Amino acid sequence: MEMDLTLDLWGVENPEEELEKVRQQALQCTACRLAETRTNVVFGEGNPRAPLVFVGEGPGEHEDATGRPFVGRAGALLDQALRENGLSRKHVYICNVIKCRASVVENGRVRNRPPYADEITACHQWLDKQLTIIQPLVIVCLGAPAANTLIHKNFKMTQERGIWFPCHYARYAMATLHPAYILRQEGESYQQNYRLLVQDIAAARQKVIEAKKEPKTTLF
Ligand code: SF4
């Protein structure tokens, strides 16, 4: 079944324009040290009226090079899991907690590193503006770091994956496995974890359908 993409009555009037204004501001951002090493600010992309938003931790090498979120192997796996649920990027919005690549040079090679707390704090202004404009019904956090920011601190993926939580920016939020984590698994473990990702996206899709039938007053 095609996901209903009609503008929700509680949405901002012109989310495309509002989001583009914020994106243009974010592209100039120098609020933390990551501005010094990034190639591109990876703001996020997708449908500004999407009822379903995916939030990951931060851009990696390919994202930094292209300025687009989830474009490497992890992005391809996410696209595949979306397709299995009859969804594509035009149905959803995808972004990250931080907008610039966090990296470290080791043995002459640039590697990803987790963002520091002060970088996450500095960047929250952009995620806050994004999600406030989009006003999704459902947020899916990809990996524990995004869940730590949007659901609660010290999120335990093994115990809390796939569970629905209240969220400041959406009626419902849950966390699922990050596609990059799944790609590090092998054999049966890879298959099992990938099925969990597909299953969680299916649950999120269903949650959107249910949430659309709920009265507006329960939004926050
Ligand atoms: S990571 Fe966020 S706060 Fe830091 S420079 Fe990039 S956009 Fe600005």
Q: How confident is the model at residue 7 (pLDDT cuts 50, 70, 90)?
A: very low
Q: Is the CB of 123 under 6 A from ligand 1?
A: yes
Best residue for ligand 1 mutational test, from 27, 36, 100 (most atoms within 8 Å of Cβ): 100
Interacting residues of 111 by C-beta distance below 8 A, sequence separation 6+: 103, 104, 105
Domains assigned to the chain = 15-210 (3.40.470.10)
Give the tens place of pLDDT for each residue, 67-102: 999 999 999 999 999 999 999 999 999 999 999 999
Q: Is the CB of 95 under 6 A from ligand 1?
A: no
Going by CA atoms, what residue is nearest to atom 6 of ligand 1?
100
pLDDT at position 9: 44
Reported in sequence order, the residue ranges of the chain that DSSP labels E, i.e. its strands, are 45-46, 52-56, 93-96, 103-106, 109-112, 138-142, 165-167, 170-176
What is the three-class DSSP state of 94? Answer: strand
Q: Is the CB of 30 under 6 A from ligand 1?
A: yes
Going by CA atoms, what residue is nearest to atom 2 of ligand 1?
123
Distance CA 140, CA 133 (A): 17
Q: Is the CB of 19 under 6 A from ligand 1?
A: no
Going by CA atoms, what residue is nearest to atom 4 of ligand 1?
32
Give the tens place of pLDDT for each residue, 157-198: 999 999 999 999 999 999 999 999 999 999 999 999 999 999
Give the tens place of pLDDT for each residue, 56-75: 999 999 999 999 999 999 99
